[in-house]
Structure 1
Amino acid sequence: MKEEKIFNKNYILLMIINTLLFTSFNMINPVLPKYVTGLGMSVTLAGVLSGCFSITALIFRPLSGIAADKMNQKRLYLAAGAIITAACCGYAVFSSFSGLFFVRVVHGIFFAVDTTVSLVLVTRYIPKGKMGQGIGFFGIGPIIAIAFAPGMGLKIGTTYGYINSFFIAAVMSAAATLVILFVANQEQRETPDAESEKIQESKALPQAAGRRFSLKQFIATEVIVFAFLAGLFSFANSIEYTFIALYSETKGIDDISIYFTVSAAFILLSRLFAGRIYDKKGLAVILYPAYLVGAVSMFILGNAGCMAMFLAAAALKALGQGAGQPSLQSQCMTSVSQDRVGVASSTYYLGPDIMQGIGPIVGGAVIDRAGYAAAYDLCGILMLAGIVFYAGYMRYKKGKAAVQA
């Protein structure tokens, strides 16, 4: 049953869990490249370690969607939280590339499960007609994490050692896992259609084998376009955050933590109005300006020479991404039936996972060959490409609807 108000008990608990887990995640992200380069590895290898997280999540994301639809979601959430905690400790234990790679892969697998299940769970407690606002407010947790977690992780790392940053990140994940215990334990309810389909498949298992393992069971093909569009934001975001500390040092800026704070503040600002606009006006009204300001921000960042330009880029990028990504997420979750929200959730994350995985690898290679400006300019070009792609998609949809009419 849907709740009548957005901020109900379970919704708030899920926000707390999400905040703690993303705090842990964002503490590790900026610390890992500095830790790895401090061990004598190249920037390219640092990018590989950062990127393999999302690539791993990508591989296991479709399975996590099926699991979220078929298994007890609370137990799945608990298991993922516990293993993420162990992975955070693993960063402090290993110092070789192979060891860190293994830990990063494990972290990626269960972060994929965690984020997929959290989105499925929270939609159960958002009132009908308020999905845009509900998902937008749910994203406030990661915003809070972005505001202080990267700076906190770097500060702890430079003052007390990077290993301590990893252990504190593990404490955050452990706290999130404990809070999961207080979320209502609801068994997955299947629609009559879903139940009858399973009965039919069990009666004719050999004949249905091909159908049981069809693409649509793993991926909600109807939302792939929105997943790709969300991935464009993540590509830019991954390069922006992975290399911002190293980039700022080349400009003579030693403490870049305020960049994350400004970014978080403007993402929060965008959440105050974007969800309501999406619920009333639809996706297009949000997406076009979101990509435009995102592109401008990346061009500013690539040519930044002082802190003021860094902060202007942070504000514009945050406004664009903060409005665009949750609107695309809401579009995915409202484009499928209730028994497929797990698959829709995992499909949505495929776009960000792919692009966030590719981003640091491509960014590291571009930086090694052409410098930081070229990497951020590339992000700006891709933002502009998003406008063209979405406009073409909308034209195609209208043409298809006209033909069918």
Structure 2
Amino acid sequence: MITNKPENLWSKDYILILFATLGINFCNYFFYATLPIYAQKLTGTVAYAGLMTTIYTLGAFAIRPFSGFLSDKIGRTKLLILGAALCTIACGLYNFAEVFIVLALLRVLQGIGFGMHSTLGSALAVDIIPSARRAEAISYIAVFSTIAVALAPGIALSIIGDGAAANFRLLFTLAAVVALMSMIFDCFISCENKNKNDTQDLSHGEDPMKSKLPKTLLGFEYAVFLPALVTVLLYVALSSVTSFIFLFAMDRSLGNIGLFFTFNAAGTFLSRLFLGRVADKRGANIIIIPGIISLALCFALLPLVNAPLYLLAIAFPFGLAQGAVGPLINTMMFNRCSAQRRGTASAAFFASIDIGYGLGSVIFGVIAAAYNYYLVYWGAMICCLIALVIFCLGIAPGTKPINY
């Protein structure tokens, strides 16, 4: 008998994953702006301040493949708890980091913990949610990340105030408590890798432990490489905003552009809140293709901006497109891979983001220094167009809704 009643998404374990993810993301964004300031005060120079983000990103990037592979073998929950525990330890020990090398090592430790938790949280969620609501569920996880992006930096900067040591200690303690709460949430997750006994993603009803798994390259199934390439190209493009939009605004005398990020975050939040459900019913293609086109148009228009109002006009649609595309490509990578290798699929997605941001910051930094911001943002547009071609020719033809 066919029923149109939607399968339940809001299980206890899924809700715990959402709040644990929220806490770890708060710890992540607490320190993006504040730890460079702390490093500068600790060393007396700005030379080491930039390293705080670099070594953190490298720590997260390095652990993602290993945590993904390992979780597919031994289970995700224990590693999820370990990731939160590492973040808790690092945040607590920041209070005792009185020399730069100790601060740097703790930053790497936090990066490793964040990399594990962010990679495995999504994979574990996919193990337990109904396949017909997968895009919606992944989008809600991204919504909680957006909340952290919007609130955590402002909270952290308000706490440190004038930069007194006592203020930083308060921030470190708060972050440790938040990470500890996330670890406690993780401890109450009662499911384990449901994919070990789940046949919903296997055809012809084979036993999932006996069915032949697809071939891999470097441990990743071939099906993830095209979506991963699209992800790298898109986040190379997006790095031009995260790394250079302030400098671009200064170059154009646009003044304080804080509202750009407010409008952008609003668009991101709304798209992630609603479009995942549409993708589950109609397929991801009708969201991703217009989303990439919209990103390309926004990048094409950015160099023409000569007034703050025009920049704000771009911010909201830019956020809508950015917020929709990322979670849906993440979902698509899960859909294209075997249930037994969801950990590596998640690792591939998040590692692609790290690679994209890392490459983009370097490439566009060279272009900005040698030429101008016109070429930076038109270069970002070209990255989006290449990603669009790859997606339309190599991925879209074989994509349909899970509940098709």
TM-score between the two structures when normalised by the length of structure 1? 0.79
SS of equivalent residue, structure 2 residue 196: coil
Matches within 5 A, 1:67-216: 67-89=70-92, 94=97, 98-160=101-163, 163=168, 165-186=171-192, 190-191=196-197, 195=209, 215-216=216-217
Q: Do the aligned residues in 1 keep the contact of 2:24 with 2:179 (CA within 8 Å)?
A: yes
**SS at structure 2 position matched to 1:334:** helix
Aligned-partner Cα distance in 1 for 2:141–2:56: 23
Q: Tell me which moved more, 93-102 or 180-189.
A: 93-102
Distance of 1:369 and 1:89 partners within structure 2: 42
Q: Distance in 2 between matches of 1:156 and 1:8?
A: 35
Determine the C-alpha separation between the residues in 2 that align with 1:291 and 1:30. Answer: 29
Separation in 2 of the partners of 1:272 and 1:335? Answer: 23
**Once the 2 structures are TM-superposed, how far is the Cα of residue 222 of structure 1 from its aligned partner?**
1.0
The superposition leaves residues 183-225 of structure 1 with CA deviations (integer Å, 9 ceiling, x where unpaired) of 2243666358565599xxxxxxxxxxxx9xx855721221111
Note closer, same or farther for the CA distance 1:188–1:269 as it changes in structure 2 (3 Å cut). Answer: closer
- Matches of residues 10-49 of structure 1 in structure 2 within 5 Å? 10-32=13-35, 39-41=44-46, 49=52
Q: Cα gap change, 1:277/1:394 in structure 2, threshold over 3 Å: closer, same or farther?
A: same
- Does the 8 Å CA contact 1:65/1:218 hold for their aligned counterparts? no
Q: Structure 1 residue 35: deviation in Å?
A: 5.5
Are the structure 2 counterparts of residues 265 and 73 from structure 1 closer, same or farther at C-alpha, using a change threshold of 3 Å?
same
State yes or no: 1:53 paired with 2:56. Answer: yes
Alignment deviations for residues 143-171 of structure 1 (CA, whole Å, 9 cap, x no partner)? 11122223333444454458355554444
Shift in Å at residue 80 of structure 1?
Answer: 0.6
Tell me the C-alpha RMSD between the 2 structures: 3.5
Aligned residues: 380
Sequence identity percentage: 26
Compare relative contact order (CA 8 Å, sep 6+) and give the higher one, 1 or 2.
1
TM-score, scaled to structure 2: 0.79
More off after superposition, 161-170 vs 292-301: 161-170
Q: Are residues 155 and 142 of structure 1, via their aligned partners in 2, closer, same or farther at CA, if it must alter by over 3 Å?
A: same
Which structure has greater helix proportion?
Answer: 1
Q: Any gaps of 5 or more consecutive residues in structure 2?
A: 1-5, 198-205, 400-404
Structure 1 unmatched runs, 5+:
199-210, 399-405
Partner of residue 224, structure 2: 223
Is 229-238 or 134-143 further displaced after alignment? 229-238
Instruction: Say if 1:385 and 1:31 are closer, same or farther in 2 by CA, change over 3 A.
Output: farther
